[in-house]
Amino acid sequence: MIDESKTLFCATCPTRRSAEWNAVDDVAIGLLNRAKAPRIYQRGELIFAQGDECEGIFCVEQGTVALRRVDRDGNVALVNLIHAGLTLGLRSYFSETPRQASAEALETCSICFIPSEAVESLLNSNAGLCRSFLKHVALDLGAAHRALLQKDALPVRNRTALLLLYLHDHYNPTANGDSFRVPLTRQDMAELIGTRPETVTRALHQMQEEGLLATSGRTVEIPSLAAMRRVAEEAD
Amino acid sequence: MIDESKTLFCATCPTRRSAEWNAVDDVAIGLLNRAKAPRIYQRGELIFAQGDECEGIFCVEQGTVALRRVDRDGNVALVNLIHAGLTLGLRSYFSETPRQASAEALETCSICFIPSEAVESLLNSNAGLCRSFLKHVALDLGAAHRALLQKDALPVRNRTALLLLYLHDHYNPTANGDSFRVPLTRQDMAELIGTRPETVTRALHQMQEEGLLATSGRTVEIPSLAAMRRVAEEAD
DNA sequence: CGGGGGTTTGAGTCCGTTCAAAATACGTGG
DNA sequence: CCACGTATTTTGAACGGACTCAAACCCCCG
């Protein structure tokens, strides 16, 4: 799955293609290429931990990362999923606060670390970059506010449907039919939509009985996206 | 309460003093002063409405503004309170999306509108300003993630205590004793912590019986902040 | 083939919601 | 300054969705 040869040059990195790094010119890409520290993370490995000082940002080249936040009583929320091509760790970097969440590889990931000094010189040499990051963080803020409203406006069934649709968008059906694998445990899904694993199971189970869903382990198939969208939006 | 003479010059505006606008030099302040459009809003008036196109940002000079978000079923969340000295409308401006929430004056407010063209020329002439806005939005994102976790980790009683402590910080006790007025209805409080007005009433009522709180209309007194902090953090 | 983590299923409980009515506060005009 | 009408707040009682606790199950991997 992981092709290490591709991790060597920022110029060919999919992250480069995402809007965020458009502002960076070729000279700066050279600089970036020298400064970055690429690494492979296995499932379960932490990229950074809640409480850590922030020493730079990360680019996710391959794989999916979970941002997990824990409170003092041990309650957990999975705050965000960061997919391949996205930048990781911006909130902490630009708010100048320690990491407020842990970043954990949900599958084998290829990720580059960009130390603060390199980030700063990129920001200095590329006027548009700051604006790109600002847009990214502003979009994240919108998503967080959306999640906030969903969480106490919608029952678990609707939130589960929304989650499935979201996962469908990101782990798109490949050639083999319309099914896709998600690297999330029931626990992860529960943390993501703000409930318990048992409750997720029950919601999924019910959807299967209604023919809205077919699961087998972590492989999922949604026979009708239209029907699933209807479930996501239905009122009780 | 509202002193209109003070709204005339950005140089004397309290918003200027907040970290965000530090980056702006005196020349640019002159520009800003000419471009801005100051206005007084009465309680209940909208500064902008969910769905509006974004045409600039706002500076809150006096008063408190509520950011309210509604979904298609009419569910409401009060996403954030913006106090005097803060900038309003950054998320939409920098994410280049329409307003996702309505901004409503909770009390008589004095607010300046800064049109996009002026914002852009300020950003061009003051390199540090973009970074300031980025920090602001990143901090907001952290707050939103915190709220997300609190909402499904803590019962209403704890969230209410946290709200009271937050309000205490922002509507600080004046000379007359240790009590303060909040411009929030029960409904507002409920939307803010993600519950119903009746539930807020009951929580406040219980705290009064325990001597943790004294209320009279919208005037609130917290006899012991330490005790209230304990309530906020207590496990069931 | 024997662990062991993750998942499923079940039953009972509880916190917060819902609906509805009474009480109170508040702004307005007389 | 008081009376009135409306909005907000309070109180009560019943209901229900999701949680808790716990046991059984299943798959994956060694």
| Residue A78 forms part of a structural domain | yes
At A85-103, the pLDDT tens digits run 899 999 999 999 999 999 9
Secondary structure class of B7 (helix, strand, coil): helix
Question: Which nucleotide has its C1' atom closest to residue B197's CA?
Answer: D9
Using DSSP, state whether B179 is helix, strand or coil. Answer: strand
User: For residue B148, how many other CB atoms are within 10 A of its CB?
Assistant: 22
Please enumerate in sequence order all residues whose Cβ is within 8 A of that of B35, keeping only pairs 6 or more positions apart, or say none.
Answer: B114, B115, B117, B118
B141 touches chain A (CB under 8 A): yes
Strand D and B185 CB separated by under 7 Å:
yes
The answer to whether A120 faces chain B, any CB pair under 8 Å, is: no
Same domain, A87 and A164: no
pLDDT at residue B5 greater than cutoff 50: no
Q: Is the pLDDT of residue B176 over 60?
A: no
What would the pLDDT profile of A194-206 be if each residue is shown by its tens digit?
Answer: 999 999 999 999 9
Q: What is the pLDDT of residues A119-169, one digit of tens each?
A: 999 999 888 999 999 999 999 999 999 999 999 899 999 999 999 999 999
Give the count of Cβ contacts less than 8 A between chain A and B.
Answer: 134
Q: Which pLDDT value is given to residue B177?
A: 61
* Among the listed residues A138, A78, A125, A118, the one whose alpha carbon sits nearest the alpha carbon of residue A102: A78
Residue whose pair of structure tokens reads 């020493």 in the numeric block: A55
Considering the domain architecture, whether residues A120 and A18 belong to the same structural domain is answered as: yes
Q: State, as a whole number of angstroms, the distance between the CA of B185 and the C1' of C25.
A: 12
Does residue B7 carry a pLDDT above 80?
Answer: no
Inter-chain CB proximity B145 and A72 less than 8 Å: no
Task: Compute CA distances B88 → B76, B99, B135, whole Å.
Answer: 19, 11, 14
Same-domain check for residues B172 and B97: no
Q: Do B109 and B170 fall into the same domain?
A: no
> Is A146 within a domain?
no
Check pLDDT > 50 for residue B65. yes
Contact A118, A37 (CB under 8 A): no
CB contact under 8 A, B95 and A131: no
* Span CA (A156) to C1' (D17), Å: 9
Is B149 touching A (CB cutoff 8 A)? yes
Chain A closest-CA separation from residue B5 CA (Å): 34
Confidence of residue A106 (pLDDT cuts 50, 70, 90): very high
pLDDT at site B174: 62
* Bases of strand D lying below 7 A from some protein CB: 8-13, 17-22, 27-28
The partner residues of A74 in beta bridges, in order of sequence, read: none
A145–B100: do the CB atoms touch at under 8 Å? Answer: yes
A144 in a structural domain:
no
pLDDT at A160: 97
Q: Residues of chain A with pLDDT > 90: what percent?
A: 70
pLDDT of residue A198: 97
Q: How far apart are CA B55 and CA B92, in angstroms?
A: 9
- The candidate with the shortest Cα–Cα distance to A66, out of A25, A23, A107, is A107
A117 pLDDT higher than 80: yes
Reported as a pLDDT band with limits 50, 70 and 90, residue B156 is very high
Residue pair B193/B200 in contact by the 8 Å Cβ criterion: yes
Q: What is the CATH number of the domain that holds A20?
A: 2.60.120.10
What is the radius of gyration, based on Cα positions, of chain A? 19
Contact A148 B77 (CB under 8 A): yes
Region B185-203: mean pLDDT is 97
Select from A99, A93, A84 the least CA-distant residue to A51.
Answer: A99
Residue of B nearest to A131 (CA): B130
Please tell me whether residues B40 and B103 are part of one structural domain: yes
User: Residue B229, Cβ neighbours under 10 Å: how many?
Assistant: 14
* Last residue of one domain, picked from the residues A108, A139, A170: A139
Asked if residue B4 belongs to a domain, the reply is: no
Is B80 part of any domain? yes
Q: What is the Cα–Cα distance from B172 to B169, expressed in whole angstroms?
A: 6
The answer to the question of residue A183 being in a domain is yes
CA–CA min distance B29, chain A (Å): 21
Distance A231 CA to D16 C1' (A): 20
Burial class of residue B110 in the structure, from the number of CB atoms within 10 Å of its CB (0-12 exposed, 13-18 middle, 19+ buried): buried
Residue A153 has its nearest CB partner, among B71, B92, B154, at B71
Residues A160, A118 within the same domain: no
Q: What angle do CA B211, B216, B222 make, to 5 degrees?
A: 40
Residue numbers of A between 25 and 64 with CB closer than 8 Å to B: none
A72 close contact with B: CB closer than 8 A: yes
Domain tally, chain A: 2
B201 touches strand D (CB under 7 A): yes
Cα dihedral across residues B153, A162, A206, A107: positive or negative: negative
* A228 and A204 both lie in a single domain: yes
pTM here is 0.93
Q: Residue for token digits 């004397």?
A: B12
Same domain for B131 and B160, yes or no, is no
Cα separation, A219 vs B172, in Å, equals 54
Interchain contact, B77 vs A152, CB within 8 Å: yes
CATH code of residue A205: 1.10.10.10
Picking from A106, A139, A172, the residue at the C-terminal end of a domain is A139
B180, B221: one domain: yes
Mention every residue, 6+ apart, whose C-beta is less than 8 A from residue B56. Answer: B89, B93, B113, B114, B115, B116, B118, B119
- Within chain A, strands assigned E span 37-41, 46-48, 56-62, 65-70, 76-82, 87-88, 102-105, 109-115, 179-181, 214-216, 219-221
In this structure, the answer to whether residues B133 and B165 fall within a common structural domain is: no
The pLDDT of residue B179: 83
What are the tens digits of pLDDT across the range B219-233? 899 999 999 999 999
Q: Are A189 and A146 spatial neighbours (Cβ–Cβ below 8 Å)?
A: no
Flag whether residue A23 sits within 8 Å of chain B, measured between CB atoms: no
Of the candidates B24, B12, B16, B56, the one whose C-alpha atom is nearest the C-alpha of residue B122 is B24
Domain boundary among B87, B113, B139: B139
In this structure, the strands spanning B76-82 and B65-70 are antiparallel
Cα distances (Å, whole numbers) of residue A35 to A31, A88, A113, B154, B225: 6, 17, 9, 43, 49
Q: Which residues of A fall within a CB distance of 8 Å from B152?
A: 75, 77, 151, 194-195
Say whether both A105 and A216 belong to one domain.
no
Tell me the per-residue pLDDT of B111-146, one tens digit each, with 9 for 90 and over. Answer: 999 999 999 999 998 889 999 999 999 999 999 999
3-state SS, residue B192: helix
**Structural domain includes residue B149:** no
Within a domain: A69: yes
Give every CB contact of residue B92 below 8 A, 6+ residues apart in sequence. Answer: A138, B54, B98, B99, B100
- B24 is in which domain, residue-wise? 10-139
Contact state of B142 with A94 under an 8 Å Cβ cutoff? no
Q: Is residue A80 located within the same domain as residue A192? A: no
